[in-house]
Amino acid sequence: MKNKKSNFSEWYSEITKEAGLCDLRYRVKGFVVFMPWSVISMKKMYEIYERELERTGHLPAWFPALIPESNFQKESQHVEGFTPQVFWVERAGDNVLEERLAMRPTSETAIYQMYSLWIQGKGDLPLKVYHPSQVWRYETKATRPFIRSREFYWIESHNAFASREEAEAQVREDMQMAQNVIFEQFGVPFIFFERPQWDKFPGALSTFAADTLMPDGRVLQLPSTHLLGQNFAKAFDVAFLNEKGEREYCWQTCYGPCISRIYAAMISVHGDDAGLVLPYSLAPLQVVVVPIPKKGSERAIEKKAKQVEAALISAGIRAKADFSQNTPGFKYNYWEMKGVPFRIEVGEKEAREGDLTVVRRDSKKRHAVKERELLHFIQKEAALMLADMKKKALSEFEGRMAKATSMEALASALEKGCLVAVPLCSIEMEGRNCAEEIKDKTAGDVRGIRFDKKEHAQANCIACGKKANVLVYVARQY
């Protein structure tokens, strides 16, 4: 494998190919085939995320992939923001359709038409629905598998409330959910930023988006949650009768955890120069048993390896013994590259004495474990492994936080792959020129202000020199 730190881009291309995560040979540009080794993990990520959505009162629904153009055009900022990215269906069989249909790039305009029918009175609120799906966007930026492609896999949740306060509380719940899932269970650190007004979701009042740092120092946007206000409610007539019998527009939010992109962040943050390092709960294969043949003891070794494999499987662990013709050394490297969390070596001594050698993928540390304690050991060690992976990822993330008060210092910190705090006059529209100046001079993008803690700028705006009202974070982005 390539060195991940010094040559991340090539490391990433190599691992997605070698580990069998995707196949890029599909004949539509920007579209990839997602392969079993990634899909098994992404299905688990879906399960974990959906469980959390349901725990917080969301119900699942499946909406159509096609959206009538007239729906799509109802919210003016939305149509302006998304139109350049839409794939259109114009024909069906031999017929030219009377109305063009958009392949959903996101589903607000599919879902809110239905919400206007479903919501009548206050008793219909809050309405919290999620929709696991794939969406299509004609991306013009360079595509990379899992990071950005023209078809991607995500979950959308769309919520409607009677008041602004409830909608704001939902936005906070969405952010907490990202913390509970993406950091606590997948081990990927991030920060939620309130995006500048010029970079918010088209049609929203405000956007809060999680940024993680990839090993090359560029940020990757993970879920974003949007306070839509009443903009879409007015466009789609999503309203309820209040106690006084008057019609009031709903307050809405939407939230979009992109599973394929979270997967990209997860493999990038945890991987090392030997390949993938997968959290135990997400690994397609959790334990691999490698027999180490020795002349005269082949039968005993094979028997022990099969016994161990069977014990693991019957305990519900995804395990397999590798009896292929390759050498043990080859098998170690192969399964390390695939990110299998535990390897159990069964040689002559192990077959005879009933002590097993267990090797952890992340630390490569070897443990002698009594066979009867194996299941307990795996369970306990899997939790420790996740804790260690989180600690390591967080310390790398925090080691890349920097501050700058001049363009020169900002440019040099960005060059080192940092997420840099700088004073800016404003994240309202009047700050846009200053953000553009930052982009021109340093190739850095203004990501917004931290949501998790209040911070004040101590210096003047890095671009125009006027009083800075906010401390923003700047990074190079994917």
Interface residues with Zn ion (CB under 5 A) are 425, 434, 461, 463-464
Residue 172 CB, nearest distance to Zn ion (Å)?
A: 29
* Angle (CA) 224 230 236, round 5°: 100
In the complex with Zn ion, the residue whose CB is nearer, 18 or 437, is: 437
In the complex with Zn ion, the residue whose CB is nearer, 47 or 430, is: 430
Q: Could you give the C-alpha distances from 285 to 31, 280, 313, 319, 329, in angstroms and in order?
A: 27, 9, 11, 6, 19
In 3D space, the residue among 39, 37, 46 whose CA is nearest the CA of residue 17 turns out to be 37
In the complex with Zn ion, the residue whose CB is nearer, 42 or 463, is: 463
Residue 426 CB, nearest distance to Zn ion (Å)?
A: 7
Residue 418 CB, nearest distance to Zn ion (Å)?
A: 21
Residue 463 CB, nearest distance to Zn ion (Å)?
A: 5
DSSP SS3 for 386? helix
Give CA–CA dist 369/194, Å, rounded. Answer: 49
Tell me whether strands 287-291 and 319-321 are parallel, antiparallel or unpaired.
Answer: parallel
Within 10 Å of residue 121's Cβ, how many Cβ atoms? 9
Q: Are 51 and 43 contacting, i.e. CB atoms less than 8 angstroms apart?
A: no
DSSP SS3 for 253? strand
Residue 36 CB, nearest distance to Zn ion (Å)?
A: 50
Helix or strand (DSSP H, E) at 102:
strand 95-103
In the complex with Zn ion, the residue whose CB is nearer, 414 or 425, is: 425
Which residue's entry shows tokens 């945890």? 270
In the complex with Zn ion, the residue whose CB is nearer, 254 or 425, is: 425
Q: Are 449 and 194 contacting, i.e. CB atoms less than 8 angstroms apart?
A: yes
Give CA–CA dist 461/454, Å, rounded. Answer: 18
Give CA–CA dist 264/284, Å, rounded. Answer: 16
Within 10 Å of residue 40's Cβ, how many Cβ atoms? 14
* Angle (CA) 336 340 345, round 5°: 75
Residue 224 CB, nearest distance to Zn ion (Å)?
A: 25
Residue 474 CB, nearest distance to Zn ion (Å)?
A: 13
In the complex with Zn ion, the residue whose CB is nearer, 395 or 406, is: 406
CA–chain centroid gap for 235, Å, is: 30
In the complex with Zn ion, the residue whose CB is nearer, 70 or 433, is: 433
In the complex with Zn ion, the residue whose CB is nearer, 163 or 458, is: 458
Residue 457 CB, nearest distance to Zn ion (Å)?
A: 11
In the complex with Zn ion, the residue whose CB is nearer, 337 or 470, is: 470
Q: Are 21 and 144 contacting, i.e. CB atoms less than 8 angstroms apart?
A: no
Residue 207 CB, nearest distance to Zn ion (Å)?
A: 21
In the complex with Zn ion, the residue whose CB is nearer, 235 or 434, is: 434
Give CA–CA dist 92/424, Å, rounded. Answer: 51
In 3D space, the residue among 280, 357, 287, 342 whose CA is nearest the CA of residue 320 turns out to be 287
Residue 411 CB, nearest distance to Zn ion (Å)?
A: 17
* Angle (CA) 346 361 303, round 5°: 15
